[in-house]
Amino acid sequence: MHIHIVPNRGSTPTVLLRESYREGKKVKKRTLANLSHLPMAQVALIRAVLSGADLQVAGSGFVVTRSQAHGHVHAVAAMMQRLGLATLIGRTPCRERAIVLALIASRILAPHTKLATTRWWHGTTVVDTFGVAEADEQACYAALDWLLKRQDRIQKKLAARHLKEGGLVLYDLSSSYFEGRTCPLAKRGYSRDGKHGTLQVEYGLMTDDRGCPVAIAVHEGNVADPTTLLPEVHRLKTDFGMERFVLVGDRGMISQKTIDAVRAQGGIDWITALRGVSIRALVEDKTLQPDLFDERNLLELSHPDYPGERLVACRNLELQKRRGRKREDLLRATEESLRKVQARVAAGRLVGQDRIGLKAGAIVDHYKMSKHFTLTIQDTAFSFARKTETIAAEAALDGFDIIRTSVEAGRMSAAACVRHYKVPGSSPISAVNSIRL
């Protein structure tokens, strides 16, 4: 049987269901049905059935499964390939290297615990891109142990790639609070997370002048910033083979004691900044006069207390406003708390110089405003007042920074010294600071 369509001039075609048969040596046809009343779509289906096509109900032979996210994975994998990350981690392909690369991509795309990461993989093309379909959380921990053994080798490759002889080396320290009690490095110290009373670990990050990470070291949570710097200087000289470089660190990192130590080694210059008390000393001996300073320019100074060094004074108006607002907020908060003590004394609920002094002293110490208030304490009376002169003297230095460097003017301009110092402040450590152990 077959469908025969007979065109009709000026009207719809005639659709016939016909059958071929044989009479002797002749092949003849006969019409079985007129299908002209059917829509052409149905006629096409009938023709397909008669021709032997396997037709099914729409949707019955097609199963839709959830698609895997790919675009973001491809973008990260392409950038990792562009950076040569695989050969940096290990020249020879292996299962551990594949898992480490997958973990790095996952940390960028969707930071999770190791267990959650291995579950998240299967909703994306990470498993196919990096070949980690069979990896579980235990395999991830084993791969990280493998990576830790290669840390020194990897860091030497990074140093050779990014650090230049005589160039800048940036260093900063941060910390992360620690959940648990089994880590031998976890100690109580100054918490940059504001998680007071918790254990923490510290980590120092070394970068090039762009903030590109080169090396990282983990320290006990109660180690002071300058203590971690000298081992990094030793690493630069012995492991990375650098004879001359410029060390950049904040005023808490590169202390006078640290400067004395690195100066004795030779070949090391530094860029840091003076502490507030040192800036105040320069103002008091008239070396720096804030009233005559033009914030649009940089002022280069020298002082006998800093032999062989350049001092570059700069002023930031936004920082000046921010510090002024913060100080005023602290002054008002201190006054508000002291008024409550004053009310208790006036009502007779708090008496005695010792008791009143302890309460008032705790308040001014809490806000670090003791230098800005005069407290008058008697057994049954209490009053306080702002020290306007000390407040004005501190406000005069708001926004001032004095960069301290041993780099000669011929090698680096004053503006470049200021610009390079601002990098640690705006923080190469910030990328690492999001890690929670």
Per-residue pLDDT of 378-437, as tens digits, reads 999 999 999 999 999 888 888 888 899 999 999 999 888 988 886 544 444 443 333 332
Helices (H), 163-255: 225-238
Q: What is the CB neighbour count within 10 angstroms for residue 392?
A: 9
Residues 6+ apart with CB under 8 A from 177: 191, 193, 195, 198, 199, 200, 436
Residue-level pLDDT at 424: 42
What DSSP state is assigned to residue 291? G
Which among 62, 57, 138, 146 has a CA at the least distance from the CA of 101?
146
Residue-level pLDDT at 294: 64
Q: Give the Cα separation of 29 and 21 in Å (integer).
A: 6
Residue-level pLDDT at 200: 92
* Cα angle value 76/115/216 (rounded, 5°): 60
- State the architecture of 165-296+409-433 in CATH terms: 2-Layer Sandwich (3.30)
- Quote the strand ranges of 258-363, DSSP E: 268-273, 299-301, 310-315
Q: The pTM is what?
A: 0.71
Residues with pLDDT less than 70, the chain: 58-66, 291-297, 422-437
Residue-level pLDDT at 429: 41
How far lies 144's CA from each of 117, 151, 225, in Å? Answer: 14, 10, 27
Residue-level pLDDT at 432: 39
Residue-level pLDDT at 59: 62
Helix (H/G/I), strand (E/B), else coil: 156: helix
Domain boundaries, the chain: 2-50, 71-149, 165-296+409-433, 319-395
